[in-house]
Amino acid sequence: MPIVKRICNFTEFVTAVNDLEKDTYRQRYVFRGEPRYDGFKKWELTPKIFRKNTGGNGEERVYRESALVDAVVSRYPGIFKDCKSNLEILLLMQHYGLPTRLLDVSFNPYIALFFAFSSKSSESTHYVYIIDTEKIAIENSKDEKEPVETKKIPNTGWLAQKNVFDNTLAVISALSRLTKEEQGELQELKKGYEAMKKSLAAFVESQSIVASSSGITVSDFVKMNIKPDQEALDFLNNYKIMQRAFYAVTESPENYKEIYMGILYEVIENSSILQTLVNKIKYYHPGFDQTIIFEDMNNDYIVRPHFSNDRIKNQNGGFLLLNALDDTHHVNEEYIKEVWEIKFETTDYDTKLEEWKTHLRYMGIDQNFIYPELEKFIHEDYLEVLSEEKRQEESK
């Protein structure tokens, strides 16, 4: 469980920031601020689209993601006409405050603090989460032949950060256009793929050499033994067929991993649900090379957006995109280095909250900075209290 650090005043917060960042590389950590809210769970940072809502009769409700995205894009085509990917659609929806599978973060801890104070908190408690991108990168590489922990790569956390044009992000964000039933089909295909991968790996490891008496290639064997109209799930579990296919390979045993990965991809590439996903991606991204790597769907990524507007620029913002088909839909708590807890006494809550906000304003961080659009301008600052004399004069 992450360390919880109680922060009692603004000076302590500044000290905590300086201590955190003094012995590491730039932009290793991202930050998220949250107040307590109804249904809040300290260790479950969850994108809004996946949060359960309570209806008027007390029933639990969840968003129908693909229906929501389709409805928004259809209703406001002018707003989304320049989007070049499903990810850009999600980013724009997030900009307008709509629920998406993205979780807002900032590379600036003081911006996260502002958001922790953005609404009144139940129990007078606010939180700033410190998320370690290096831990994300290490977790993402754990199944690789050479995990990043062993490579001594400088700035390891940057490996978990991707730009909006990345192919992997194009795949994950396209899941927002699949129905829950289609996502379930894809999840089943992924489970079958992973089971097949383990079976083939176990088979290979049990052989001292790769036999090659027939000279038949994997591609030829698959085409001979699998009918074109079969669904992938029908034969993903037929281990014997795939083991025989591998046994017939003539390549050297040193290349076994590439060989059985090739087998698996040939098997699944014609799956109907995989083709549906590819079509959702290519609608906005015609140049997509159709490579869908299931291993990447186990990973989490920090999205680094292009600073196309003043809001995202001022907020020094990014987004956490969680692994695509994980049923938990919340941030792995192993990524959270610390949670900074700011708690005010209930009797002194408003005074203390305003005191902290004043410190942020001295740093130039207020609503006008965070939301620089005209409609967000704080015009209430220009109200003045009428004197009694003036009030009486105007009432005549």
Percent share of the chain, pLDDT over 90: 34
- Is residue 250 scored above 50 in pLDDT? no
Helices (H), 248-387: 256-268, 272-282, 310-314, 349-362, 367-370
Q: How confident is the model at residue 212 (pLDDT cuts 50, 70, 90)?
A: very low
Q: What pTM value is reported for the model?
A: 0.81
Distances from the Cα of 277 to the Cα of 91, 99, 100, 269, 374, angstroms? 19, 21, 18, 11, 39
Strand order, beta sheet including 3-6: 3-6, 336-343, 125-132, 29-35, 102-106, 317-321, 301-304, 161-163
Specify the pLDDT at position 226. Answer: 45
Query: Which tokens is 130 given?
Result: 């410190």
Determine which of 63-67, 154-158, 175-179, 199-203 has the lowest per-residue pLDDT on average: 199-203
Q: Which residue has the tokens 């969680």?
A: 322
Q: How confident is the model at residue 62 (pLDDT cuts 50, 70, 90)?
A: confident
- Calculate mean pLDDT across residues 142-167: 78
Percent share of the chain, pLDDT over 70: 71
Determine which of 135-144, 245-254, 283-292 has the lowest per-residue pLDDT on average: 245-254
- Calculate mean pLDDT across residues 337-341: 93
- Calculate mean pLDDT across residues 361-388: 76
**Nearest partner of 126 among 1, 3, 4, judged by Cα:** 4
- Is residue 273 scored above 70 in pLDDT? yes
- Is residue 211 scored above 50 in pLDDT? no
- Calculate mean pLDDT across residues 26-53: 82
Fill in the DSSP letter of residue 340: E
Q: Pick 377 or 180 by higher pLDDT.
A: 180
Convert the pLDDT of each residue in 77-96 to its tens digit.
999 998 889 999 999 999 88
**Nearest partner of 326 among 139, 73, 128, judged by Cα:** 139
Q: How confident is the model at residue 151 (pLDDT cuts 50, 70, 90)?
A: low
Specify the pLDDT at position 306. Answer: 80
Measured between alpha carbons, how far is 296 from 293 in angstroms, rounded to an integer? 6
Q: How confident is the model at residue 372 (pLDDT cuts 50, 70, 90)?
A: confident
**Nearest partner of 350 among 14, 116, 120, judged by Cα:** 120
Contact 200, 264 (CB under 8 A): yes
Specify the pLDDT at position 127. Answer: 93
